[in-house]
Amino acid sequence: MLGIGVIGYGYWGPNLVRNFSQAQGARVVAVCDQRAEQRAKVERLYPAIKTYADVDEMLRDAAVDAVAVATPVHTHFPLTLKILQAGKHAFVEKPLTSTVAEAEQLLEEAERRGLTIMVDHTFIYTSAVRKIKELLDNGSLGTLYYYDSVRVNLGLFQSDVNVLWDLAVHDLSIMDYLVERSPVMVAATGMAHVPGRPENMAYLTCFFEDNLIAHFHVNWMAPVKVRQTLLGGSEKMIVYNDMELSEKIKVYDKGIIVSEDEAEIYQRHVGYRTGDMWAPRIDNVEALQIEASHFIDCITTGQRPFSSGESGLRVVRILEAASRSMAQHGQPIKL
C-alpha cells in the first residue's frame, strides 16, 4: 500500500484526499496545511490521517511514499523540489510550474532519482476526452485541420496568474494529449480590466508545422459559462460541450469536397458533404478517480503517466511564450 500525502486542503485538496483514499493500492496517510481550521476539518473527517502544519515535518514521515501538491502556482516548484529531494513521487496541480526553467529542473531531478512526476491535467482523464482520443486515433476524423476552444465564465479573479495560466491550461493539456505534437509558434493578445490584476481575458493561437491551427478564447468576465471545443477534420467534425449533461460529444459527418477537375483548376469548386450526427455513449466515472488510480499504477509499474512531467513542461512552454506574446501585443513567439 502506497502512503499518499497531500499538501494543501483548500479548494482541490479535499477532492484529492477523497479519491486517493478510495483508490486501490494506496491510502492517504498525511495532510499538510498551515491553517489550523483546515487541519481540524481533516481530523474530523479522517481520524486516521496525520495532519501537519510544516511540510518538512511531513516529508520526514516514513509512511509517506508520494505527495500530491494542491497549492498556488508559485509554490509548486519549491514544494515539488523538496518532495523529490526527500525521495518521494510527486503529483502536482496544474500548471506544473511558473516557468519553463523550473519545470526542466524538476524533470531532471525526478529522472536522476528515478521518481514519478505526474501533473493533474484532470480533463484528459474524463470519459469525453478519452472518447475523442479514440476517434482521432482510429482515423474517424481524417486529417485534423483545426482545434477551436472557448472557456469563459464570470469567474474567480486570480491574483498570481493571468487567465491563460488559470483557464487555458486545461485546454492546452487536452490539446497536447489529443494532438500529440507541439506547436512551433504562438501568438496571444489579452487585456486586464481590473487595476493591479493580471489579464482577465485572452485569445491564444497555436501554429503547427502543417496546416493545423489551434485557437483558445478564455475569459473571467463573461455573462455565461461556456466550455466548448470544436475539432474539424477532413472526414468528420466534433463538438465537445462540457456543459452538456448527457451528450457531451457530438460527431458530425460534415465537411467540404474540393473538385480536382482540370477544367475548374482556376476556380476550384467547393462542395459540401452533409451526413448524420451521432453522440457516442460515454461512461460517468469521475475523472479524478481514474487519475488517482493511474498515478498509483505508474509508481508501481514504472510506466509513464499520460499527464507526465514532460506534458506539463510542454504546456508551461506554451503558456510562457503566450505571456511574452501578450506583453508584446500579439507578437508571434517561436517555440
β 117-120/249-258 pair status: unpaired
What are the φ and ψ backbone dihedral angles of 209, each rounded to 5 degrees? -65, -35
Closest CA to 274 of 240, 228, 241, 237: 237
**How is residue 143 written as a grid cell?**
486529417
pLDDT tens-digit profile, the chain (335 residues): 999 999 999 999 999 999 999 999 999 999 999 999 999 999 999 999 999 999 999 999 999 999 999 999 999 999 999 999 999 999 999 999 999 999 999 999 999 999 999 999 999 999 999 999 999 999 999 999 999 999 999 988 888 899 999 999 999 999 999 999 999 999 999 999 998 899 999 999 999 999 999 999 999 999 999 999 999 999 999 999 999 988 999 999 987 776 666 655 555 667 777 888 999 999 888 999 999 999 999 999 999 999 999 999 999 999 999 999 999 999 999 99
Is the C-alpha dihedral spanning 260, 262, 268, 274 positive or negative? negative
pTM for the predicted model, two decimal places: 0.93
Residue bearing cell 466515472: 285
